[in-house]
Amino acid sequence: MTEHAPKTAALIAYTSGLLSPEGRGRVDRHLATCEVCRHELAAIQAYDSLIEEVQSSQLPKIDFESMELPLQREAEAISRQMVAQKKRRSALPYVALAIAAAVGLALFAWPRLQPDEAPVAEPAPVEAPEPEEAAPAPVESPTLTPVVTLAAGEARRVEGDQTVDLAVGDALDEGATLATGDDGELHVRLSDGTGVRLASATRLSLERTREDGIRLALEGGSVAQQVAPLSNGSTFVVLCAGYEVEVTGTRFVVSYLDEVVGVDLSEGSLVVRDPDGGETALRAPARWRSRGGIDGEPDAPTVRAAASPRVSPTPVTLADERLVRWSVDGIEVETEGALSLGLAPGEHTVRGWDLRGRVYTATLPVGEAPVALETDAMTPQAPRVRAGHLEEAQIRQVMGRAMRPFRQCYERWSRNHSGIVRGRLRITVGMMGDVERVQVLGVDDDSLSSCIRNHGMRLNFPSPGGSVSFEAPLTLTPSR
């Protein structure tokens, strides 16, 4: 074997086809006699094919959907901090200016206050000039971005004389006016969890969508709301034909049909203020009309399965007693209870959450006939595993104790076989320190690897507080 360092750069050029025919011939001749360079070239080619394999392999599924909302909340918190810092910083120059002006005026006044003048009682306090906008303006409350979660039939955003068709996932600006046609339905969710559903032939303006207050103006039609619990000082108001419906965490429908304002309250409480200043307090369940006043039990706000000539959705009913929150194809469509909605024919991914936050999933095939999700069709999803931590010394200690049973496996195997066993153990330890998985790598004999695996599964580690995987070398040699 020729003892020399491999010509890596030349070999890379050779593999990439960058060498001239003469250069290629020289490398070919060299390779015929040099084991080191042959080995290096094989490694280069193995690396190239491995890189291709890694590039073409799919990454593990990352739950971006559940990452979005917390990320947006964090971003809003950062925004608030940044706005506050900016205000503080912008006030600083004015403060400095005020101090400088005060010092300047004091210096200017000083010679005039010297002796031989009539005694002066007290110099008048120097007032700093009032800087413009010295006081920081009140910080605008962060927006709760409304996002379309369901758009069926004719569902549009109105911009002056023009209209823009809405699609699921569209983010809406504060002040947007939304309209649905006779066959339309539109669901909008705000980033605090509040849901707003526009029934057909409805027109609604999102006048204000801030953390400290939400104000919607209903011009016609019917709108159902599921209001998230409001924080201190924040309000949720629906304006309609001079009436004002103010809510404190509730589920209700406001409608304006045939010039009658109606409120159907199915959960919580609210106050209706009329244009003359009169107030009517309602506690669920209650129904109120601008003509006729309070009136018995309300109709439950249900989502109508819209029949659109463009989308042709199929009526679908989802119900599972365990679940309190639903999502269809990654879009949250309702917060609890049974859900009726229209879905386009095809396969849809349905997810649901129970009270403890466990996720259940199902694939729902939808054809042209109405579909109801079968009872217990939702299967629980494995919970997300958090990373734990084990010190190397802790691993060594437990693995040291485990060598005795592993050796017994080896000695049993040695009755019919001979040789040294070299391999690796890949062990996954669960949150409480119990072993969840053992892989015996590099040992081909099934009986031996199965014996080692069985003993490995019985190991107990200190609790790592999450999932931990590690690899440990395994060498078993005949005893002397």
Q: Do 54 and 46 meet the contact criterion of CB atoms below 8 Å apart?
A: no
- Could you count the other beta carbons within 10 Å of the beta carbon of residue 29? 10
- The interface with other proteins within residues 410-439 (CB under 8 A) comprises 413, 417-423, 426, 428, 437, 439
> Which tokens in the block code for residue 61?
């599924």
Cα–Cα distance, 263 to 245 (Å, whole number):
8
Looking up tokens 């307090």, which residue turns up? Answer: 281
Categorise residue 277: left if φ over 0, alpha if ψ from -120 to 50, beta otherwise: left
403 binds other proteins, rule: CB under 8 A: no
What minimum distance in Å lies between the beta carbon of 421 and other proteins?
5
What minimum distance in Å lies between the beta carbon of 166 and other proteins?
14
Which residue, 68 or 295, is less far from other proteins as judged by CB? Answer: 68
Phi and psi, residue 138, nearest 5°: -60, 140
Which residue, 310 or 396, is less far from other proteins as judged by CB? Answer: 396
50 binds other proteins, rule: CB under 8 A: yes
Which residue, 142 or 345, is less far from other proteins as judged by CB? Answer: 142
DSSP letter for each residue of 186-246: EEEE-TTS-EEEE-SS-EEEEEEEETTEEEEEEEEEEEEEEPPPPPTT-EEEEEETTEEEE
457 binds other proteins, rule: CB under 8 A: no
Identify which range of 31-39, 193-201, 263-271, 351-359 contacts other proteins by CB under 8 A. 31-39
Identify which range of 4-12, 273-281, 291-299, 300-308 contacts other proteins by CB under 8 A. 4-12
Q: Do 212 and 223 meet the contact criterion of CB atoms below 8 Å apart?
A: no
What minimum distance in Å lies between the beta carbon of 447 and other proteins?
10
114 binds other proteins, rule: CB under 8 A: no
Cα–Cα distance, 301 to 99 (Å, whole number):
62
What minimum distance in Å lies between the beta carbon of 73 and other proteins?
9
Question: Interface mask (CB under 8 A) for other proteins, residues 155-174, using x and -?
Answer: ----------------x---
Q: Do 476 and 413 meet the contact criterion of CB atoms below 8 Å apart?
A: no
User: In b/e form, how buried is each residue of 417-430, taking b as 16+ CB within 10 angstroms?
Assistant: eeeebebebebebb
363 binds other proteins, rule: CB under 8 A: no
Identify which range of 87-95, 117-125, 198-206, 444-452 contacts other proteins by CB under 8 A. 444-452
Burial grade of 100 (CB within 10 A; 0-12, 13-18, 19 or more) = exposed
Choosing from 64, 132, 276, 375, the residue that interacts with other proteins (CB under 8 A) is 64
38 binds other proteins, rule: CB under 8 A: yes
Q: Cis omega (within 30 of 0) on the bond before 146?
A: no
Choosing from 324, 385, 403, 431, the residue that interacts with other proteins (CB under 8 A) is 385
Cα–Cα distance, 300 to 432 (Å, whole number):
46
473 binds other proteins, rule: CB under 8 A: no
Angle between helices 21-33 and 35-56 (to 10 degrees): 110
Which residue, 172 or 371, is less far from other proteins as judged by CB? Answer: 172
- The interface with other proteins within residues 257-316 (CB under 8 A) comprises none
DSSP letter for each residue of 105-140: HHHHHTGGGSTTSPPPS-PPPPPPP--TT-SPPPPP
20 binds other proteins, rule: CB under 8 A: no
Which residue, 175 or 419, is less far from other proteins as judged by CB? Answer: 419
Choosing from 3, 20, 21, 57, the residue that interacts with other proteins (CB under 8 A) is 57
Choosing from 3, 22, 53, 132, the residue that interacts with other proteins (CB under 8 A) is 53
What minimum distance in Å lies between the beta carbon of 179 and other proteins?
20
Identify which range of 111-119, 123-131, 246-254, 461-469 contacts other proteins by CB under 8 A. 461-469
387 binds other proteins, rule: CB under 8 A: yes
- The interface with other proteins within residues 185-244 (CB under 8 A) comprises 191
Number of residues in contact with other proteins, rule: CB under 8 A?
A: 83
389 binds other proteins, rule: CB under 8 A: yes
336 binds other proteins, rule: CB under 8 A: no
> Which tokens in the block code for residue 400?
């040291």
Which residue, 289 or 426, is less far from other proteins as judged by CB? Answer: 426
- The interface with other proteins within residues 67-106 (CB under 8 A) comprises 67-68, 70-72, 74-76, 78-79, 82-83
Cα–Cα distance, 285 to 297 (Å, whole number):
6
15 binds other proteins, rule: CB under 8 A: no
Calculate ∠ Cα 350-354-357, nearest 5°: 100
Cα–Cα distance, 264 to 254 (Å, whole number):
7
Choosing from 233, 365, 444, 480, the residue that interacts with other proteins (CB under 8 A) is 444
What minimum distance in Å lies between the beta carbon of 352 and other proteins?
21
